[in-house]
Every structure is written in structure tokens, then in C-alpha cells.
Chain A
Amino acid sequence: MTSAAVELRGISKRFDAVVANDGVDLVLRRGTIHAVMGENGAGKSTLMSILFGLVRPDSGDIVVNGVERHFRGPLDAIAAGLGMVHQHFRLFDSMTVAENVVYGAEPTRRGSLDRKAAAARVRELSDRYGLETDPDAVVGRLSAGARQRVEILKALHRDAEILILDEPTAVLTPDEVDSLFAVLRRAADGGATVVLVTHKIHEVLAISDEVTVLRDARVTGRFRTAEATSGALVQAMTGREVREVGNPGTGEPGEVVLEVERLGVTDRGVHRVRDVSFSVRRGEIVGVAGVSGNGQHEVVAAILGTDPIESGTIRLLGRDLASLDVRRRRALGLAVVPEDRRGEGTAVTMSTAENLSLGHHRTPPIGASTGWRRGFLNLRAQRDMARRLIADYDVRTSGEKLPVGALSGGNAQKVVIARELSHDAPVLIAEQPTQGVDIGAIESIHQRLLDYRDQGGAVLLVSHEIAELQALADRVLVMFAGRIVAEYSRADASTERIGAAMAGAAEHRQAGEHEEAAS
């Protein structure tokens, strides 16, 4: 067994009343890939922030390469040989790969940046670790996978021997995930220590050497991956066995309730959505696959009415939505679970009860629509509805007065789902409904969507998770570069096909066909 590169001993951290880490021990052996797993709110992000010097522990020791450390900030951690790749990239879009990589630790010649040396350094690192990158490319034009490689290069440039990656696969296509794992394996074989924070079990099994599982701020399992099973991991994460939710494939869907025809959306001169047409029927879940940023979000915003459209028509229950604002569209029968939970789906500083009442505040029982109390809120009805939804949707909270910002990601998402489903709208758009949500909550959210579908609801499900679409959708559309490039029936929706279409393969094929037809 190799020696320990990092040892965390008895790490504890509280934020106000919330215990994030409670006596956590973690040993990272040199030259291994170590997965840190746990549901949202289990404390894995806090643990990594402590390791990287972003957060100071209340108690406990950090030992790096046999030396006890007290990090005052990330710079101390970097100096000790740690590097972190954050979930959301921290790069300068307008600068080149080489400039981004050396930023903060630049090779200089006569006081100014030595571009040649920077480019050479990037090439050297790229070759050593098999990270394909062009040092002179402008970061803003790169795909998510390429940007992530730049982040990894940044850490390697500073001689990081211990790499922390926080949910690195969330933004990647299946192919990009494979090449990331190859890079990480190569780095580990070369003596680096890799920590992978994730809640995806298949990734843990595919790439890691060892696993530490956290639940409720404590370590609930330590495994050697070769000896671990997915069942054991799930049990350690959730404390129980998780039932797989699947689409039971019920009867025939009903009439069309949402119809999008030749939709085009332009944002500051850039075509975000081109010529998109599809329809959703009652009792049907239509999945939309695609790597983030290929127009899915713009389609949702166009249907909801928060962003203007360039061309095309959208009909809801047979009615053209062109002249209707968001309020009228919602009143007509539309509910939306947005992608950006903190930025759009909730007001984190407001109470859970107030977050649950949006859209209910002008209709009985919360808002009186007639009589002398017209325009007033019934605060008791607001409280009662909040308590009922919190119980029905199993939101783990100390009460309806708690701000939504104090809830874990999964519980905040349950609040959004509860609010939107409680509108009893015939059409639901769910955008990344389980992103950043723990396994227990994923199961319950999936079941809610299926129940809603079975009661005759029409669902447009936008997701980056192919497995989620396979589990739930009756049909899967794939978006790439603003277009729908493929459609698969439930039976045909294999991971390989969807993955290839997400990466643009279908687009190329279609373009080729067009060229052939033209010639």
C-alpha cells in the first residue's frame, strides 16, 4: 500500500446550527484516485473546501505529506501542492489557454509575460498528461470539456500533486467523461493524488481506487472500489436501499397540448434556437437531451415567455401564446421547474412558505379575489398550504418560516417541484429537475413526474442526464447547436445514440446528407 499524501483527522465544522462535518477522517494515498461520495448536504463540499483552505475547520488536523498544515487560504493550499478544479470554471473567456493556465504564476522575461514559455509549458503539460489543448485558442470559444482541461492544466502548472475535482462530469458529454477519466488515471499513475467529489455511482465504480462515503456530516463507509457494489454504496449514502424508478409505459397519450412550430430565438445577434418544432401530448413525457448551452434553455424561456422569440409559433392548449405574458401563460395552464434553482426558481432569502406561494398569491385560498379583502393575503392559508406541501413532498426543514437558502439543494428543489405541481397545470416543463439533488430526492422527484404524467399531465423534460431521460421519457429529442438533430422512441434511446447526437454526430450526418442532396 502506498503512503498517505493527505490525512484529514477528526475534521468538524458547523455553520450556525448546521453541522457540515462531524469528526471526519479521510486518508488519500499517493498515486490513487479517491472518490468522495455523498448526497447533497452530506458535507463533501465543505470537506473539500477545508482541504483546499477555503474554509477553516472548527477542529481537526490536516496533514499533507506528513506535515501538519493550517491553511489560511487557498494560496497556502496551493503552496502545499494542492489544486482544485471547481464545478463552475473560473477562467478569463477573452484570453488564450496559455494565458489562463499561467495566470497568477507567470513565466516572465524582463518583467512581462513570456508568451513563448507559457505556450511551451502548456504543451509540455498537455503531452505529459494526454490533455489535448491548443495553447493559443481563446477560452471563450472552447467547449465545456476543453475548458475543464484548461482548469486541470492550471492546477498542474502550479505543480499540484493533489488534485481535487468537484463534480467534474456535470457539464461533460459521455465521450468527454471518458477522456477526462483517462487523463485522471494517467495523472495518478504518474504519482499524483486525485480526489473526485461526486454523487454518481457508476462513475465512482468506473474510475476510483477507493471511496469514502459521507452522510449527515459523518463518514458512513470506506471501500476499496474493487470490493464495492453499487448497492453497498447507495446504502452507505442514503442509509437504505433505493428502488429504481422506471417508466412503466402506460396507455396511449392523448391530444396535443403543447405545440412548438419553427421556433427561432436570437440573443444579441446570435442564433440560439433555429427552426425547432415539436409537440407534447397529454399523458406523455418528452425528453430533450443535449449538452448544456445548445438551445434547450432558450426553448424553455420562449415557452414560458421570459425571453422574446424571433420567429415561429408556440401553442398551449390550442392557443397561440404570442400575445400572452408569463402570468397569462401560467394561468392558461403552464408550470415550469427552471434549471437555475437559486437564480430563478427560488428567492433564497425569503421563507419556504413565501417561496411556495408564488403564483398562488392572487387566487383563493391565499389571495382573496373578490370582496373587501380583495388583494389581501390570507397568511393563515399561506402557512397551511406550506405545511401541507412540506409534508406531502417530504421537504426536510425545521419549519415553513426557514429561508429557502438554508435548505439543502435537494430540499430546495422539492420546494420548487411542490410549488409548480400544486398549480395543477396540464403542461409541465421540467428543466434539469434533479441537478445537484441527492439520490433519495431524485427518486421522489422522478416518481412525482411519472405520477403527474399518469394523471394526464404533459411533461417536457430537459436533462443532461441520459439515464434520467431513459428512465422517464416516452420520446427523446436531442438538441445540438440550437436545432433538434435527432428524435428517438423509448425503445431506440440508447446511451450511445443519444450521446453521439449530443456531440453533434447527427448534425454532421444531416449536413452531409444535405450536401449530397444539393450536389
Chain B
Amino acid sequence: MTVSTGTEAPPEPRSAAARRLLGVAVRHPAVVPLGAVVLALLIGAVIIAAAGLDPLVAYAAVLEGALEPGSLDYTFSVWGFTCGMALAAAIPLRMGEFNLGGNGQLVLGGLAAVVVAGALPGPFAVPLALLAAAVLAGGFGAISAPLATRFKIPIIISTLLLSPVAVAVVSFLIRYPLAERGSGVAQTAQLPEDARMWRLPELSYSNVGLLVIIAMMIVFWIVDSRTAVGYELRVVGANRRFGAYGGIVVGRLALGAMAAAGAAAGIVGAIIVLSAPYRLIDGALLSPGYTFAGFAAALLAGGRPLLIPLTSVLFAVLQVGGAAMERSADVPRQLSDLLQGVVIVVLALRTVLDARRTGRSEH
């Protein structure tokens, strides 16, 4: 019988040390999101090159178009709306739920705002319009929670399926009961002067609405990191069974999260219709693609409140610069949508691979 006390660790070969360092680096949580962005840009570059154009020129046009002094004001406002819609995705994402109903919530917010502000012009028009938008869109978003709790319809499904219903209803209202008289365009009448979002000095696109969205992001950050509700959201997002076992009422939490998400989207919709051209135009809330861009930004940030402003910059730049790229480099702006799509696919792939890997390592 021998008892050895263990040997000295042999000096590690350099290659092994380098490999270990690489191993640590590869597992860093930022690697996959950054990789997704880089991969998207590379794929975009290949497509541009395949079309016989110069990718570097195209990307330079994107950056220039978005960040030149003249368009910064506009980029800022797009960034704000992207952030707002990212919030609508990120709040449920924090507890592991996907809100794909941003479009419906957005247009309902716009509808509520245009009705309330149009009916009650005056000093309280803007706050009341925002409140109405939050209530209507929040209520609409919240429907998905009992559907999940009572009828086991996943939130990702019910939001996706309910959203077009809301979009269609709002579209109908704009075309018929609320249509501007004497106009051939599907739009509501312009809001009166005293029912419009307050302006910021020297800016034409960005207004006080941007500050409202920034305030919402700060509130989300505080709730997420400093309150019992935020803690419960993160617990359920990390491990739903752990949350249920610990006494968290997951259904009620989902109700709150979906209401808050809907309210955030609704407020974005309200801010858009309270800004120029001060009316609800059919399709105008959806065509810029804030919902999808916001969803991608939230996914890229992993729902983390402090990262959303950063990831939203990426998509806002793509959005605004895409138009400039079309003008100066002759690359269609749909490339922006394509890049967003690639980012989402790569992130989704990560989720699937993660699930597989943990499934395998649990021996």
C-alpha cells in the first residue's frame, strides 16, 4: 500500500497555455453576439461583391450616411424608436419569453394616441395620449399571458398570431371611421398644434419623445437590477422551474412583463404619431421596421438593459445608412434587413447549440 502525496505540476507547454487562453476567450459571453455581427457583415460583403460592387465603399456609405452631421438628428430619432421597440422585446426576454407582437402593440399605441390627443387638445394632450397608448397596447400585450397560463398557448405563438389582427383592425379604422375627410390617402386628420409632441431646440426629428424613451430604458435598468420584480424576472429567465419552486407566480409575472412590453411599444407608436407629420398614416408605423430591428437589438443584448442602447446603435446606423448606401453606392437598402436577419439566425443557432451542449454535458 502506497500513498503518494501528488506530484508537482509539470511546466505547461506554451501551445497548451495559448490554447487555454483561447478557450477562455471563446467562452466569453460577448463572443457569439460579436461574432454574429461580424459574420453578418461578411455575408453582406460577399453579396455586395457578388453583385459586382465594392463592399468597403458600400459600408463606408452606410457609416457616412448615418453619422454625417446633417443626418445625426434623424439617426438619433431612429435609434430612440429602435431602443423603444427593443424594450418591448427585452422585458419578456428577461424571463425567457419572446414577444413577437411588437407590430400590433405599436399600431394600437399610435391609434390610442391619435384618438386621445385629437379629442383633448391642450396642455395635457401629450401625457394623456402617452398614457392611453400605454394602457391600450399594454392591455393588448397582456392578453398573451393568460393565454399561456390558462390555455398553454406559448407567448411566442399568441403574440405572433394576434399582432396581424391588431394591425388589420387599426388599418380598417384609419381607412374608414377615422379617415381624414376629403383626402384620398389612408390617414387620419392632422393633430392640432397643441396636441403635438414637445420639440427640442434646434432638432427637427428628435423631440421630447426621445427623452421619454431614454427614461423608459433607465426605469427598466433600475427595475431589472434593483427591485424584487426584476429579480424574479431574471430568476425565471435563468431557470423557470427554480422560480416556480421558490414561490414566484410565473403567470402573474408574465402578465406584468407582457403589459410592460406592450406599453413600451405603444408609447413608441404614440411618440411617432405625435411627431411630424402629426397623424396616423396606414402602414407608416410599420414600414421603417422598428419592431424587427428592436427585436434583433434586444436579442443581441441578451435582454440586458445596459447593452440595449449599444446594440440599437448598430441597427439604427444600418437603417439610416442603408438609405444613403442605396443612393451613393447603388446597393439596395434591403441589405440592412438581410444583415439583421443573419444576426438573428446566428443568435438563434447559439441558443440551439447551447441547449444541445448542456444536454450532452449533463452526464
User: Which residues of A pack against B, CB within 8 Å?
Assistant: 10, 12, 14, 16, 19, 22-23, 25, 45, 58-59, 86-88, 166, 218-224, 227-228, 232, 236, 304, 306, 325-331, 336, 338, 340, 342-350, 354, 357-359, 361-362, 367, 375-377, 379
Contacts and interface: CB of A to CB of B under 8 A. Distances in A.
A330 B247 CA distance: 7
B193 interface: no
A88 B1 contact: no
Contact of B4 (A222, A336, A342, A358): A222
B363 A349 contact: no
Contacts of B27: 16
Nearest to B250: A326
A282 to B, nearest CB: 23
A223 B244 CA distance: 47
Contact of B242 (A218, A224, A347): A347
B235 A220 contact: no
A308 to B, nearest CB: 13
A367 B23 CA distance: 39
A58 B239 contact: no
Given A22-B9, A23-B8, A228 B242 contact: no
Contacts of A88: 362-363
Contacts of B218: none
A328 B229 CA distance: 17
B352 interface: no
B8 to A, nearest CB: 7
A23 B7 contact: yes
22 contacts: A10-B10, A23-B8, A25-B7, A45-B363, A219-B6, A222-B1, A222-B2, A228-B1, A232-B1, A331-B247, A340-B241, A343-B239, A345-B242, A347-B239, A348-B239, A350-B235, A354-B231, A359-B247, A361-B228, A375-B227, A375-B229, A376-B227
B231 to A, nearest CB: 5
Contacts of A343: 239, 241-242
A325 B242 contact: no
Nearest to A359: B246
Interface stretch (B12-20, B73-81, B260-268): B12-20
B7 to A, nearest CB: 4
B51 interface: no
Nearest to A325: B249
B333 interface: no
Interface residues of B, number: 39
Contacts of B242: 343-347, 358
A429 B362 CA distance: 25
Given A227-B1, A377-B231, A16 B239 contact: no
Contacts, number: 126
A219 B4 contact: yes
A220 B6 contact: yes
Given A59-B12, A348-B239, A358-B246, A377 B6 contact: no
A23 B6 contact: yes
Contacts of A348: 238-239
B234 interface: yes
Contacts of B24: 16
B282 interface: no
Contact of B363 (A87, A223, A376): A87
A219 B9 CA distance: 12
Nearest to A23: B7
Contacts of B226: 376-377, 379
Given A220-B6, A346-B239, A326 B228 contact: no
Contact of B238 (A10, A86, A306, A350): A350
* Nearest 4 A/B pairs, CB to CB: A218-B6, A327-B247, A347-B238, A358-B246
A224 B238 contact: no
A358 B249 contact: no
B358 to A, nearest CB: 9
Most chain B CB inside 10 Å of its own CB: which residue of A222, A331, A377, A379: A377
B248 interface: yes
A224 B9 contact: no
B249 to A, nearest CB: 6
A350 B236 CA distance: 11
Contacts of A23: 6-10
Contact of A349 (B228, B238, B241, B247): B238
Contacts of B2: 222
Contact of B232 (A10, A16, A361, A376): A361
A326 B232 CA distance: 14
Nearest to B241: A344
Contact of B362 (A330, A342, A344): A342
A327 B12 CA distance: 52
A338 B10 CA distance: 42
A10 B362 contact: no
